[in-house]
Amino acid sequence: MAVNARRGRPLSAEEIHLAALRIIDAEGVERLSMRKLAAELDVNPMSLYHHVPSKTALLQHVCSMNAKSLLPPPNEGAPWQRQLREIADTYRRIAREHPSLWSYAQLHPELTHREEGLWEAFNDCLRAAGVPKERFAQIRIALFGMVAGYLSAEAAGLLAANDDQVDTEAAFQTAVDLLITGLDGYR
């Protein structure tokens, strides 16, 4: 049995995805290469292709795994302002866990498989805020685009680069406050 010469234990897709995420967090998506990944795993570069069909498929998997964490805790009873904050905070937590992946995934939406339930949290929120149903789709896009987009800008360092002394947490809360006050206008 031709077990890997250098490691002695078999390779697995799981292990490959985790190592990829480690490189992405440490060096950025752009610096992830199949050859570097193999080196990280102490494995022949070509061995990876027995567990993962391609680099694109690997990135798809990592992006989609990450997107699964976006579902916020169910929260139907709470006031809608609280619900929206919860969504925004969940997004921010995920964005900051893997900032390079977050920005990259926004640039390559085709890589991420998004769960059906992702929009439900927004819908619950808009319902509770008294937004007319025929406006749901557009407002959901507006909110999602601004929250996800803001976090992508923050993750990439675009916001810190522009103003020197920034409390990034407070700036994000300011952004969410603007959205909440704005949404309140639909009541």
Partner DNA sequence: ACCTGAACACCGTTCAAGT
Our finding on whether 182 is near a copy of itself (CB under 8 A) is yes
The piece of 5-13, 72-80, 86-94, 106-114 that touches DNA (CB under 7 A) is 5-13
* 117 touches a copy of itself by CB under 8 A: no
Tokens of 78: 């709470």
167 near a copy of itself (CB under 8 A): yes
Binding flag, residue 135, DNA (CB under 7 A): no
Secondary element (H or E) of residue 123: helix 120-128
Size of the residue set binding DNA (CB under 7 A): 24
Which structure tokens are listed for 119?
Answer: 């929009």
Q: Show the site string, 6-25: x = touches a copy of itself by CB under 8 A, - = not.
A: --------------------
Query: ∠ at Cα 167 (141, 31), nearest 5°?
Result: 70
Q: Is 60 in the site for a copy of itself (CB under 8 A)?
A: no
Phi-psi region of 85 (alpha: psi -120 to 50; beta: other; left: phi over 0): alpha
Q: Which of 38, 61, 67, 104 binds a copy of itself (CB under 8 A)?
A: 104
DSSP output for 48-78: GGGT-S-HHHHHHHHHHHHHHTTPPPP-TTS
Q: Choose, by CB under 8 A, the member of 47, 68, 109, 120 that binds a copy of itself.
A: 109
Vertex 147: Cα angle to 141 and 148 (nearest 5):
85
Give the 3-state secondary structure of residue 32. coil
Selection from DNA, a copy of itself, none that 146 binds (CB < 5 to 8 A by kind) is a copy of itself
Applying CB under 8 A, the residues found at the interface with a copy of itself are 103-104, 106-110, 114, 119, 135, 137-154, 156-159, 161-163, 165-167, 170-172, 174-175, 177-185
